[in-house]
Amino acid sequence: MPFVFSRIYLTGQSAGAHISSCVLVKQVIKESRGETVSWSTSQIKAFFGLSGAYNLPNLVDHFNNRGLYRSILLSIMEGEESLQKFSPEIMVQDRSSKAAVHLLPHIILFHGSSDSSIPSDSSKAFVDTLHRVGVQAESILYDGKTHLDLFLHDPLRGGKDDLFDYIVAYIHANDKEALAKDAMAPPRKRLAPEILIKLASRISPF
Protein backbone atom coordinates (compact mmCIF):
# COMPACT_ATOMS: atom_id res chain seq x y z
CA MET A 1 0.00 0.00 0.00
CA PRO A 2 1.62 3.34 -1.01
CA PHE A 3 2.34 5.89 1.69
CA VAL A 4 0.18 9.01 1.30
CA PHE A 5 1.53 12.37 2.39
CA SER A 6 -1.20 14.60 3.80
CA ARG A 7 0.67 17.31 5.72
CA ILE A 8 2.41 19.15 2.92
CA TYR A 9 2.81 22.92 2.95
CA LEU A 10 3.70 24.58 -0.33
CA THR A 11 5.58 27.86 -0.46
CA GLY A 12 7.31 30.03 -3.03
CA GLN A 13 8.81 33.51 -3.24
CA SER A 14 8.50 35.99 -6.13
CA ALA A 15 8.54 33.93 -9.36
CA GLY A 16 8.31 30.82 -7.18
CA ALA A 17 5.05 32.10 -5.67
CA HIS A 18 3.71 32.81 -9.15
CA ILE A 19 4.66 29.38 -10.52
CA SER A 20 3.39 27.51 -7.43
CA SER A 21 0.01 29.25 -7.55
CA CYS A 22 -0.29 28.48 -11.27
CA VAL A 23 0.45 24.82 -10.57
CA LEU A 24 -2.20 24.67 -7.83
CA VAL A 25 -4.91 26.23 -9.99
CA LYS A 26 -4.10 24.07 -13.01
CA GLN A 27 -4.06 20.98 -10.80
CA VAL A 28 -7.52 21.57 -9.31
CA ILE A 29 -8.88 22.15 -12.81
CA LYS A 30 -7.50 18.76 -13.87
CA GLU A 31 -8.95 17.09 -10.78
CA SER A 32 -12.38 18.67 -11.28
CA ARG A 33 -12.44 17.29 -14.83
CA GLY A 34 -11.66 13.79 -13.63
CA GLU A 35 -8.28 13.68 -15.34
CA THR A 36 -5.67 11.23 -14.08
CA VAL A 37 -3.22 12.99 -11.77
CA SER A 38 -0.11 11.79 -9.91
CA TRP A 39 -0.86 13.89 -6.82
CA SER A 40 -3.84 15.66 -5.34
CA THR A 41 -4.25 19.18 -3.99
CA SER A 42 -6.05 17.59 -1.04
CA GLN A 43 -2.57 16.64 0.18
CA ILE A 44 -1.62 20.32 0.45
CA LYS A 45 -2.55 21.77 3.84
CA ALA A 46 -1.81 25.37 2.85
CA PHE A 47 0.01 27.51 0.31
CA PHE A 48 2.28 30.32 1.53
CA GLY A 49 3.00 32.82 -1.26
CA LEU A 50 5.73 35.41 -0.65
CA SER A 51 5.93 38.61 -2.71
CA GLY A 52 4.35 37.00 -5.74
CA ALA A 53 2.89 38.19 -9.05
CA TYR A 54 -0.55 36.74 -9.72
CA ASN A 55 -1.96 38.89 -12.54
CA LEU A 56 0.67 39.41 -15.24
CA PRO A 57 -1.35 41.70 -17.57
CA ASN A 58 -1.79 44.15 -14.68
CA LEU A 59 1.97 44.20 -14.09
CA VAL A 60 3.27 44.67 -17.63
CA ASP A 61 3.64 48.46 -17.30
CA HIS A 62 5.21 48.15 -13.86
CA PHE A 63 7.76 45.61 -15.09
CA ASN A 64 8.46 47.78 -18.14
CA ASN A 65 9.24 50.78 -15.90
CA ARG A 66 11.53 48.58 -13.80
CA GLY A 67 13.58 47.46 -16.80
CA LEU A 68 11.83 44.25 -17.79
CA TYR A 69 10.64 45.80 -21.01
CA ARG A 70 7.27 44.92 -22.46
CA SER A 71 8.77 43.51 -25.68
CA ILE A 72 11.11 41.24 -23.70
CA LEU A 73 8.35 40.03 -21.37
CA LEU A 74 6.02 39.26 -24.27
CA SER A 75 8.83 37.44 -26.05
CA ILE A 76 9.51 35.33 -22.97
CA MET A 77 5.81 34.58 -22.49
CA GLU A 78 5.23 34.04 -26.22
CA GLY A 79 2.55 36.71 -26.53
CA GLU A 80 -0.27 38.51 -24.73
CA GLU A 81 -2.47 35.42 -24.56
CA SER A 82 0.04 33.56 -22.42
CA LEU A 83 0.05 36.39 -19.86
CA GLN A 84 -3.55 35.52 -19.07
CA LYS A 85 -3.04 31.76 -19.28
CA PHE A 86 -0.35 32.00 -16.60
CA SER A 87 -2.09 34.44 -14.28
CA PRO A 88 -3.80 32.55 -11.44
CA GLU A 89 -5.94 35.55 -10.52
CA ILE A 90 -7.44 35.44 -14.02
CA MET A 91 -7.59 31.65 -14.16
CA VAL A 92 -9.78 31.29 -11.06
CA GLN A 93 -12.32 33.73 -12.52
CA ASP A 94 -12.82 31.71 -15.68
CA ARG A 95 -16.28 30.13 -15.80
CA SER A 96 -14.72 26.77 -16.61
CA SER A 97 -12.88 26.89 -13.27
CA LYS A 98 -16.03 27.33 -11.19
CA ALA A 99 -16.23 23.66 -10.22
CA ALA A 100 -12.51 23.52 -9.43
CA VAL A 101 -11.71 26.43 -7.13
CA HIS A 102 -13.29 24.83 -4.05
CA LEU A 103 -10.51 22.21 -4.23
CA LEU A 104 -7.82 24.82 -3.57
CA PRO A 105 -6.10 24.65 -0.16
CA HIS A 106 -5.98 27.54 2.29
CA ILE A 107 -3.97 30.29 0.61
CA ILE A 108 -1.96 32.85 2.61
CA LEU A 109 -0.07 35.56 0.74
CA PHE A 110 2.66 37.65 2.35
CA HIS A 111 3.99 40.90 0.95
CA GLY A 112 6.07 43.89 2.03
CA SER A 113 4.48 47.31 1.65
CA SER A 114 7.75 48.73 0.28
CA ASP A 115 8.23 46.04 -2.37
CA SER A 116 9.20 47.89 -5.55
CA SER A 117 9.82 44.76 -7.63
CA ILE A 118 6.25 43.47 -7.32
CA PRO A 119 3.76 45.83 -5.63
CA SER A 120 1.91 44.50 -2.60
CA ASP A 121 -1.38 45.22 -4.39
CA SER A 122 -0.66 42.04 -6.38
CA SER A 123 -1.26 39.87 -3.31
CA LYS A 124 -4.19 41.91 -2.02
CA ALA A 125 -5.98 41.81 -5.38
CA PHE A 126 -5.50 38.04 -5.72
CA VAL A 127 -6.91 37.42 -2.24
CA ASP A 128 -9.91 39.66 -2.97
CA THR A 129 -10.56 37.64 -6.13
CA LEU A 130 -10.18 34.34 -4.28
CA HIS A 131 -12.75 35.51 -1.71
CA ARG A 132 -15.20 36.36 -4.49
CA VAL A 133 -14.98 32.83 -5.91
CA GLY A 134 -15.29 31.21 -2.48
CA VAL A 135 -11.69 30.27 -1.66
CA GLN A 136 -10.30 30.50 1.87
CA ALA A 137 -7.49 33.03 1.56
CA GLU A 138 -5.84 35.91 3.35
CA SER A 139 -3.11 38.45 2.74
CA ILE A 140 -0.63 39.62 5.35
CA LEU A 141 1.16 42.90 4.69
CA TYR A 142 4.44 43.78 6.41
CA ASP A 143 4.90 47.51 6.75
CA GLY A 144 8.15 48.85 5.26
CA LYS A 145 9.41 45.47 4.07
CA THR A 146 10.96 45.12 0.61
CA HIS A 147 10.99 42.30 -1.94
CA LEU A 148 13.96 40.58 -0.28
CA ASP A 149 13.39 41.42 3.39
CA LEU A 150 10.88 38.70 4.19
CA PHE A 151 12.85 35.67 3.06
CA LEU A 152 16.46 36.93 2.96
CA HIS A 153 17.35 40.02 4.98
CA ASP A 154 15.28 39.32 8.10
CA PRO A 155 16.69 35.78 8.57
CA LEU A 156 20.22 37.12 7.98
CA ARG A 157 19.75 39.75 10.66
CA GLY A 158 18.65 37.22 13.26
CA GLY A 159 16.38 38.05 16.16
CA LYS A 160 12.66 38.55 15.52
CA ASP A 161 11.44 37.25 12.17
CA ASP A 162 7.68 37.81 11.87
CA LEU A 163 7.20 35.76 8.71
CA PHE A 164 9.09 32.73 10.02
CA ASP A 165 7.26 32.91 13.35
CA TYR A 166 3.88 33.09 11.63
CA ILE A 167 4.51 30.11 9.35
CA VAL A 168 5.93 27.94 12.15
CA ALA A 169 3.01 28.82 14.44
CA TYR A 170 0.54 27.99 11.65
CA ILE A 171 2.11 24.60 10.92
CA HIS A 172 2.43 23.69 14.61
CA ALA A 173 -0.97 25.07 15.66
CA ASN A 174 -2.40 21.66 16.60
CA ASP A 175 0.85 20.05 17.74
CA LYS A 176 1.37 20.67 21.46
CA GLU A 177 4.76 18.96 21.52
CA ALA A 178 6.07 21.08 18.65
CA LEU A 179 4.71 24.28 20.22
CA ALA A 180 6.46 23.43 23.49
CA LYS A 181 9.76 22.95 21.65
CA ASP A 182 9.25 26.23 19.79
CA ALA A 183 8.79 28.05 23.10
CA MET A 184 12.13 26.67 24.34
CA ALA A 185 14.08 27.49 21.16
CA PRO A 186 17.13 29.75 21.69
CA PRO A 187 17.18 33.23 20.18
CA ARG A 188 18.06 33.24 16.49
CA LYS A 189 21.56 34.50 15.76
CA ARG A 190 22.61 36.97 13.10
CA LEU A 191 23.80 35.00 10.08
CA ALA A 192 25.63 37.80 8.26
CA PRO A 193 27.27 41.12 9.12
CA GLU A 194 25.28 44.25 8.28
CA ILE A 195 27.58 45.12 5.38
CA LEU A 196 26.60 41.89 3.57
CA ILE A 197 22.93 42.55 4.23
CA LYS A 198 23.26 46.04 2.74
CA LEU A 199 24.98 44.61 -0.33
CA ALA A 200 22.23 42.03 -0.70
CA SER A 201 19.62 44.79 -0.55
CA ARG A 202 20.96 46.08 -3.87
CA ILE A 203 20.08 42.80 -5.56
CA SER A 204 16.80 42.94 -7.44
CA PRO A 205 15.14 40.48 -9.85
CA PHE A 206 14.71 43.41 -12.28
pLDDT in tens, 87-107: 999 999 998 888 899 999 999
pLDDT at 86 over 90: yes
pLDDT in tens, 157-194: 877 889 999 999 999 998 889 889 888 888 888 766 66
The angle formed by the CA atoms of residues 152, 140 and 111, to the nearest 5 degrees, is: 40
- d(C-alpha 169, C-alpha 126), whole Å: 24
Band (143; pLDDT cuts 50, 70, 90): very high
- d(C-alpha 94, C-alpha 129), whole Å: 11
pLDDT at 4 over 60: no
pLDDT in tens, 117-130: 999 999 999 999 99
- d(C-alpha 114, C-alpha 145), whole Å: 5
- d(C-alpha 64, C-alpha 77), whole Å: 14
Catalytic sites, residue numbers:
14, 115, 147
Bridge-based pairing state of the strands 106-112 and 137-142: parallel
The pLDDT of residue 3 is: 47
> Which domains does the chain carry?
8-146 (3.40.50.1820)
Considering the chain, what percentage of its residues have pLDDT values greater than 90? 68
